[in-house]
Amino acid sequence: MDKVAVTVFYVFALLCLAIAANQGILAALSLWGVGVTAYLYLHLIRQHQLLDWLKAPQNKTLPDASGHWASIFDELNGFIQRYQSQTSELSDSMSRFKNAVSVLPDGVVIFNQYQQVEWCNPAAETHLGLNLWRDQDQKLNAGVHHAEAVKYLEAERYDAPLKIKSKSNPNVDLELKVYTFGAQQKIMLSQDISQIQKLDAMRRDFIANVSHELRTPLTVVGGFLETLQDIPNAVSSQYLHHIALMEQQTQRMRHLVDDLLTLSRIESDSNVPENNEINMQGLLERVLSNAKGLSLGKHKITHDFAPNLCLIGAEDEIYSACSNLLNNAIRYTPEKGHIHVMWKATDAGATYSVMDTGIGIPKEHIGRLTERFYRVDKSRSRDTGGTGLGLSIVKHILMRHQAQLKVDSVEHEGSTFSILFPKARIKNR
Binding site for ligand ADP (CB under 6 A): 328-329, 332, 356, 358-359, 361, 369, 374-377, 381, 386-392, 415
Q: Which is nearer to ligand ADP, 165 or 375 (CB)?
A: 375
Q: Give CA–CA dist 83/403, Å, rounded.
A: 56
Q: Which is nearer to ligand ADP, 43 or 298 (CB)?
A: 298
Helix ranges (H only) for 280-354 are 280-295, 315-331
CB 113 → ligand ADP: shortest distance, Å?
Answer: 46
Q: Give CA–CA dist 276/311, Å, rounded.
A: 8
Q: H/E element holding 165?
A: strand 162-165
Q: Which is nearer to ligand ADP, 108 or 397 (CB)?
A: 397
Q: Give CA–CA dist 73/69, Å, rounded.
A: 6
The residues near 159 (Cβ < 8 Å, ≥ 6 apart) are none
CB 425 → ligand ADP: shortest distance, Å?
Answer: 23
Is 229:251 a contact under the CB 8 Å cutoff? no
Q: Give CA–CA dist 325/332, Å, rounded.
A: 11
Q: Give CA–CA dist 106/81, Å, rounded.
A: 38
- Can you tell me whether residue 124 is helix, strand or coil? helix
Q: Which is nearer to ligand ADP, 120 or 329 (CB)?
A: 329
Q: Which is nearer to ligand ADP, 218 or 359 (CB)?
A: 359
CB 324 → ligand ADP: shortest distance, Å?
Answer: 6
CB 413 → ligand ADP: shortest distance, Å?
Answer: 11
CB 164 → ligand ADP: shortest distance, Å?
Answer: 32
Q: Which is nearer to ligand ADP, 120 or 359 (CB)?
A: 359
CB 217 → ligand ADP: shortest distance, Å?
Answer: 23
Residues 134, 136, 137, 140, Cα dihedral to 10°: 70
| β-bridge mates for residue 139, sequence order | 116
Measured in degrees and rounded to the nearest 5, phi and psi for residue 285 equal -65, -35
CB 421 → ligand ADP: shortest distance, Å?
Answer: 20
CB 397 → ligand ADP: shortest distance, Å?
Answer: 12
Q: Which is nearer to ligand ADP, 351 or 392 (CB)?
A: 392
Q: Give CA–CA dist 64/49, Å, rounded.
A: 10
Secondary structure letter of residue 1 according to DSSP: -
| β-bridge mates for residue 311, sequence order | 278, 426
Closest CA to 331 of 303, 358, 366: 358
Is 421:283 a contact under the CB 8 Å cutoff? no
CB 333 → ligand ADP: shortest distance, Å?
Answer: 7
- Full DSSP string of 328-388: HHHHTS-TT-EEEEEEEEETTEEEEEEEE-SS---HHHHTTTTSTT--SSHHHHHHTT--S
Measured in degrees and rounded to the nearest 5, phi and psi for residue 369 equal -60, -30
Q: Which is nearer to ligand ADP, 109 or 389 (CB)?
A: 389
Q: Which is nearer to ligand ADP, 250 or 409 (CB)?
A: 409
Other C-beta atoms within 10 Å of 241: how many? 10
CB 115 → ligand ADP: shortest distance, Å?
Answer: 43
Q: Give CA–CA dist 318/279, Å, rounded.
A: 11
Is 333:357 a contact under the CB 8 Å cutoff? yes
Q: Which is nearer to ligand ADP, 148 or 408 (CB)?
A: 408
